[in-house]
């Protein structure tokens, strides 16, 4: 990658792999920014901070650096700490970039493999006027339960014991691991037999509250980011 393409002052988010520790869903990130570009592979960053506390970076340690480019795409690269510097009154670090910048998929159609509890019921076997469907008026006492195979900002896939006809409308409440429960109307777009009496039923949303869409996309992105972080930290530790 060419560091000259990153603007001075660009905000960075720094993650530091923890050698000898198991990867978990909890981790600390630090805020920093680009102070100077020495050459295409060498940059100077402000000392990372978290909750107003400076984080000292050990020489020769590897870090993961995330940033937004001019098109608001989220990218990351791996780097190695070379030296501790002073930039005026500020602590800073010289960093050598050791990987290409790679884009993290953030669009709402990213499909996350995740077994989430989904309670659902069939509303209609045919298309309905979605504007006439009021979630608060749906009887939720007789919901069936299943698990998702995957989920995205545009739809989800359910693991069921019976097929559903294409076009069938479902009301569903999807539990995002107890962080939130989103309510949707979904329409069956496919129903595939996989084994024995098991079926994968693909749905796309035909009604979802915009606020819950944002909640869902945030959940998917955070899960994707954690998985990416775990993979990258494993790679960095073995370099």
SS (H, E, C) the chain: CCHHHCCCCCEEEEECCCCCCCCCCCCCEEEEEEEEEEECCEEEEECCEECCEECCCCCCCEEEEEEECCCCCEEEEEEEEEEEEEECCEEEEEEEECCCCEECCCCCCCCEECCCEEEEEEEECCCCCHHHCCHHHCCCCCCEEEEEEEECCCEEEEEECCCCCCCCEEEEEEECCCCCEEEEEEEEEEEEEEECCEEEEEEEEEEECHHHHHHHHHHHHHHHHHHHHHHHHHHHHCC
Mean pLDDT by 10 residues, the chain (239 residues): 92 74 54 94 93 87 87 84 85 94 70 93 72 81 94 93 91 94 93 90 92 88 75 58
What is the pLDDT at residue 36? Answer: 94
- Looking at the chain, the domain(s) classified CATH 2.40.10.220 span 112-219
Burial 108-119 (b: 16+ CB within 10 A, else e): eebbbebebebb
What is the pLDDT at residue 102? Answer: 85
Q: Which CATH class is domain 3-104?
A: mainly beta
How far does Cα 76 stand from its chain's mean position? 13
What is the pLDDT at residue 17? Answer: 67
The CATH homologous superfamily of the domain defined by 112-219:
predicted glycosyltransferase like domains (2.40.10.220)
Whole-number Å distance between alpha carbons of 22 and 115: 22
What is the pLDDT at residue 149? Answer: 94
What is the pLDDT at residue 135? Answer: 85
Global model pTM greater than 0.85: no
What is the pLDDT at residue 20? Answer: 47
What is the pLDDT at residue 22? Answer: 45
> Residue 35 in contact with residue 12, Cβ under 8 Å?
no
- Looking at the chain, the domain(s) classified CATH 2.30.110.10 span 3-104
């Amino acid at each position: 990658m060419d560091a000259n393409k990153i603007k001075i002052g660009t905000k960075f988010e720094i993650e530091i792999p923890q050698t000898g520790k198991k990867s978990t869903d909890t981790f600390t990130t630090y805020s920093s920014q680009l102070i100077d570009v020495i050459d295409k592979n060498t940059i100077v960053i402000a000392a990372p901070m978290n909750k107003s506390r400076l984080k000292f970076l050990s020489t020769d340690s590897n870090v993961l650096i995330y940033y937004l480019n001019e098109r608001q795409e989220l990218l990351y690269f791996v780097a190695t700490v070379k030296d501790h510097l002073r930039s005026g009154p500020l602590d800073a670090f010289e960093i050598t970039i050791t990987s290409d910048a790679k884009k993290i998929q953030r669009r709402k159609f990213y499909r996350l493999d995740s077994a989430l509890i989904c309670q659902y019921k069939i509303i209609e076997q045919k298309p309905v006027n979605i504007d006439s469907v009021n979630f608060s008026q749906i009887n939720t006492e007789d919901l069936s339960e299943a698990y998702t195979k995957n989920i995205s900002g545009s739809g989800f896939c359910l693991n069921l014991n019976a097929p559903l006809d294409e076009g069938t409308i479902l009301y569903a409440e999807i539990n995002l691991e107890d962080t939130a429960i989103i309510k949707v109307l979904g329409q069956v777009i496919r129903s595939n037999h996989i084994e024995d009496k098991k079926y994968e039923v693909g749905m796309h949303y035909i009604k979802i509250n915009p606020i819950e869409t944002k909640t869902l996309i945030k959940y998917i992105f955070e899960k994707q980011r954690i998985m990416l972080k775990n993979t990258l930290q494993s790679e960095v530790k073995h370099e």
